[in-house]
Chains A and B, each alone.
Chain A
């Protein structure tokens, strides 16, 4: 069961049970929806971007512990970041959950690293991040993990 603890670290469980920045954002000027058609997980992301900086971020949706915690952790970490910084973080997370590489200081987001041992769960971890990219790109169509 040790690898289960690796995947479901306390931080993940904490963010699953008490997601940060959950709900809608009335002042949002960027929104996007993400959907995983295989499992039905959904996330809607609201961003308030001013002068190229993400001032506020919130999300709502249904998903597993990995998907929910990833969205919660993401909203925490992108607040106050410039758009290009947020996108760099996305690259970093993507590398971390797909091949286990940790580039730079991932901080709290490092807890998502356990996912790379579970290829079937990578899409759960990346759903919110795909949605972030769509929001920053101002995508109109919902993005899917497929």
Chain B
């Protein structure tokens, strides 16, 4: 990296320091330095997260909420400490409103089954949007099949923004829930979720936000948003896979039946009657992913030390730079030009299928995602079977954007 260039972009200078926290970024792929631009799929992990998991297994591995012995106490403390960190990260009222699950997908399934299944009646309506990830579509389709409820879909305009007029018209006396994504995984669009919530609440309709793509890129404040449910995954927030969070307002969670039965979620069990545990344990049956939750705690410490506003500013700089550079490539079309975006750029190249782009970029060390991004209805909306998607995280730099653009030009060369 040229020094002058570094100083011209202070964000890159910071990013160069942050990069040293991520051991995997020293990896070479096909003999080239790894340029990891698949962060919307999963982010890389800082040393602090890797060590937190390893320390748990090496020094105080024990089950939580059970043992009277020392190690169990240490493990329980670390596990519960993460709950408080999550509460603070998203500004929830109480740690009891933070439920640990396997990921965003499980969080949404939990709400669909525990909140939706018992309440929904035939012809009730659930509003989703056209830009949802399959994980915020299929759980609702399943509960519709079980109850006779129906899905209504907020359309997306040509820029990749939700059509809010259409949303306002979809709300009616039969609407029971709105479940929309905070940020689109395929387009990067940041949705006007506050406006969505205000409109829904005017009809006394609760709102679930899929925060999988938002949590690592912008400050989330559930109190200010006033959403009923918020779901996200640790692994998109520099944390481990297999851990996620469901936030729910206490009064709703209290009124919901357990999602799964087992140990830890009960107060007492007899063959005649079982009394369920209180929040949050009512929804955490079985031994949880203790190491993963502890790793999530370390990830939250890591991003909090940098500051979500600081890393968001860096990523916004990268997004603007990369958008301009890619748009200048002849034959390249960016899908998703919303006014407010996070660092996600979906694109197609004339005469080239995204899989072919992906293979050629990989040989240049550039890791991107190609395909339908688990958002097939959205691909259909834009009339493409697939796109290539570059997505940024705090450790990406303008130098890497250049590597991306050069690799795209090489792909064009191969296809002549």
Contacts and interface: CB of A to CB of B under 8 A. Distances in A.
A39 B355 contact: yes
B355 A124 contact: yes
Contact of A39 (B363, B372, B414): B372
Which applies to chain A's interface (DSSP): helix, strand, loop or mixed? helix
| Chain A: interface size category | 20 to 34
A7 B360 CA distance: 10
Contact of B414 (A5, A62, A121): A5
A66 B356 contact: yes
B33 to A, nearest CB: 17
Contacts of B379: 40
A40 B353 contact: no
B363 A38 contact: no
A66 to B, nearest CB: 7
B354 to A, nearest CB: 8
Contacts of A40: 371-372, 376, 379, 385-386
A65 B353 contact: yes
Interface string B356-394: 100110010000001110001001000001100000000
A141 B356 CA distance: 28
B359 A62 contact: no
| Chain B: interface size category | 20 to 34
Nearest to A3: B363
Contact of B410 (A1, A17, A66, A121): A1
Given A3-B363, A63-B353, A64-B353, A13 B416 contact: yes
A39 B413 CA distance: 24
B58 interface: no
List 6 A-B pairs, minimum CB-CB distance, nearest first.
A64-B353, A64-B355, A65-B356, A62-B385, A40-B372, A4-B414
A64 B356 CA distance: 6
A5 B370 CA distance: 20
Given A1-B414, A38-B371, A39-B372, A120 B359 contact: yes
Given A118-B359, A120-B359, A8 B415 contact: yes
B351 interface: yes
A8 B410 CA distance: 13
B356 A39 contact: no
A63 B385 CA distance: 8
A9 to B, nearest CB: 11
Interface in A1-45: 1, 3-5, 7-8, 13, 17, 38-41
A4 B363 contact: yes
A17 B351 contact: yes
A124 B353 CA distance: 12
13 contacts: A1-B414, A3-B363, A7-B359, A8-B356, A8-B414, A39-B355, A39-B371, A40-B376, A62-B385, A63-B353, A64-B354, A64-B355, A121-B359
Contacts of B371: 38-40
Contacts of A124: 355
Nearest to A7: B359
B210 to A, nearest CB: 22
Contacts of A1: 363, 410, 413-414
Given A7-B359, A65-B356, 20 more contacts: A1-B410, A1-B414, A4-B360, A4-B414, A8-B414, A17-B351, A39-B355, A39-B370, A39-B372, A40-B371, A40-B372, A41-B355, A41-B385, A62-B385, A64-B355, A64-B356, A65-B352, A66-B355, A120-B359, A124-B355
